Structure 1
Amino acid sequence: MLHNPEKSPLQHRKRQVTPPIRFDSGRNERAKIGFVLLPNDQLVEEDMVRMAPPGVGVYFSRARMPHEISTRTLAQLTESLAETAGRILPDDILDVVCLACTSGTVAVGEARVCSELNKGAPNAHATSLMGSVTKALAALQVRRIAVGTPYAHELTDTVVGYLQNEAGFEITAYAGLGLDYDRDMVRVTPDYLLEFGASLDTPEAEALLISCSALRSLEIVEALEKEIRKPVIVSNQAMMWNCLRLAGVQDRLSGYGELLRQF
């Protein structure tokens, strides 16, 4: 015997929604920040979620490029920045969109990076990790810095040259670890990074920069500041600080160095 749909038991259980539906600004009502990552990045998502204050949403998408980190491969980022930024909350509006790669910004150029990001997220403040680092150092009002990177020598020289010639900092000492792949950078131990950073400090340096989002430097920034008694900027700390400030979020965060605690 066939059931008559008009007399189906389900029809008797259906209820009409009582209007009006109530809406608010959602869980992340204070800000929505989007990050464009390299394909092999393993740390940025975790670090950003860890630092994000209540009410701030962090969202991610990955750009296309070869696995090796070099000036040649990083320059290819340009081809996919707009598309990648456009995939982050495509039916909503980001407050900030950021390229989460220090060396990529140096290879492509800050202005070009921001222009491409805004093609995909036209209503967002566009920035980059290197832009965040230079703004962080400016906020500390320092000009003489020591610099450590995980990169091979050519890319380290390129980053240091940018900081010196484009951003106007005096480099008192610098060194790179000679690594080409993220899979190696993420395995450098925090205790080694503490020793590495301390070894770069000079009496002339006003602050220390450890560059690269693929290093676990966020875990040792407080200890390193205590050891050298100077401010320490690390990539993911500077990136979160800058993105929060661009979004109008002024929270001071403990546990991540002087920058987020005081500025």
Structure 2
Amino acid sequence: MSQAFDEGRHGRAKIGFVLLATEQTIEDDMFTLCPPGVGLHFTRAPIPDSITVETLRAQADDLAQAAASILPDGSLDVICYACTSGSLVIGEDRVFAELCKGAPNAEPTSLITGVMAALRAIGARRIAVATPYLDEINRREADYMTDAGFKVVNIQGLNLEKDSDMIRVRPDFIADFAARVDRPDADALFISCGALRSIDVLDALEQRLGKRVISSNQAMMWDVLRRAGVSDRIAGYGSLLRDF
């Protein structure tokens, strides 16, 4: 009977993502960026259509149960909490602990973890950050990245509270807004938030600014692939996936 089986469609790696209940962009982006032979598996944690420090902090108690719902056979290689602001509000240590409760065989990571790993990989220390967030989240993001060793030379948000608004921001507007947030002394520009359709403009924005541009979903895919041992280079979505 053993001769009847192979590794299935996803023999290279299986990656899980815990999304916000409101999320509408990340799944499309992950499938767009995913190389052949890698399986992507998604679940969601409850949250209202209001992205505040309070609602994000409350997600911590739901991460373990959400993680446990993905591939209970234990074959998941990596699991990621796919929210930039949520992972920095809750904190990576707590996120990892909760993910490990639900998926003990998978390596845990988070969106902010992937972003900071990507920034280190490209050698960037001075960062300009464009976000859709409320000021209360921007302040926490600046503090979190500063504590991690980065210099945030500028951070500006669109002051949006609803995830359902963040997903509707036009890519061309994202590019223009991010370019205004950039500063000449920034080593790199980071466009924060998995809800924004930022991957659509990364190549053109890097050419426009003459520097590397990191976005949340681009960095997340790069991070989970490298953690899973997948080293494919992916063109068309910024230099991070193409060159690192």
The answer to whether TM tops 0.5 is yes
Q: Is the counterpart of residue 90 in structure 1 residue 72 in structure 2?
A: yes
Return the match for 1:170 from 138, 141, 151. 151
Alignment of 1:44-83 (within 5 A): 44-83=26-65
Cα distance in 1 between the residues matched to 2:71 and 2:207:
40
Indicate the SS of the match to 1:119.
helix
Q: Is the 8 A contact 2:74 2:105 kept in 1?
A: no
For residues 208 and 148 of structure 2, the distance between their equivalents in structure 1, rounded to whole angstroms, comes to: 27
Amino acid at match of 2:64: A
The partner residue of 2:223 within 198, 221, 242 is 242
The Cα shift of 1:91 comes to 2.4
| Higher RCO (CA-CA < 8 Å; seq separation 6+) | 2
Q: What is the SS of the residue equivalent to 2:159?
A: strand
List per-residue Cα deviations over 1:200-237 (Å, max 9, x = no partner).
12111110000000000010011110100100000000
Shift of 1:92: 4.0
Give the Å deviation of 1:118: 0.7
SS of residue matched to 1:77: helix
Q: Distance in 2 between matches of 1:257 and 1:248?
A: 20
Aligned equivalent of 2:24? 42
- For residues 2 and 209 of structure 2, what CA distance do their matches in structure 1 show? 60
The number of residue pairs the alignment matches comes to: 244
Query: Whole-Å Cα distance in 1 between the matches of residues 212 and 92 of structure 2?
Result: 25
Preserved CA contact (<8 Å) 2:22 2:48: no
Alignment correspondent of 1:127: 109
Unaligned runs of 5+ in 2: none
CA distance in structure 1 between the aligned counterparts of 2:181 and 2:133, rounded to whole angstroms: 15
Structure 1 residues 62-121: Cα deviation after superposition (integer angstroms, max 9, x where no partner): 012232100111011111100000001112410000000011111111011011001000
Alignment deviations for residues 129-149 of structure 1 (CA, whole Å, 9 cap, x no partner): 000000000000110010010
Q: Structure 1: where are the runs of 5+ without partners?
A: 1-18
The DSSP-based 3-state class of the residue aligned with 2:190 is strand
1:185-204 alignment runs, 5 A limit: 185-204=166-185
Residues 81 and 110 in structure 2, CA contact (< 8 A), matched pair in contact too: yes
Percent identity between the aligned chains? Answer: 52
Structure 2 length-normalised TM: 0.98
Deviation at 1:197?
1.1
CA contact (8 A) 2:84 2:194 kept: yes
Number of the residue aligned with 1:219: 200
Letter in 1 for 2:52: S
Q: TM-score, normalised to structure 1's length?
A: 0.91
What is the CA-CA distance between 1:173 and the residue it aligns to?
A: 1.4
* Superposition pairs of residues 134-173 of structure 1, within 5 angstroms: 134-164=116-146, 166-173=147-154
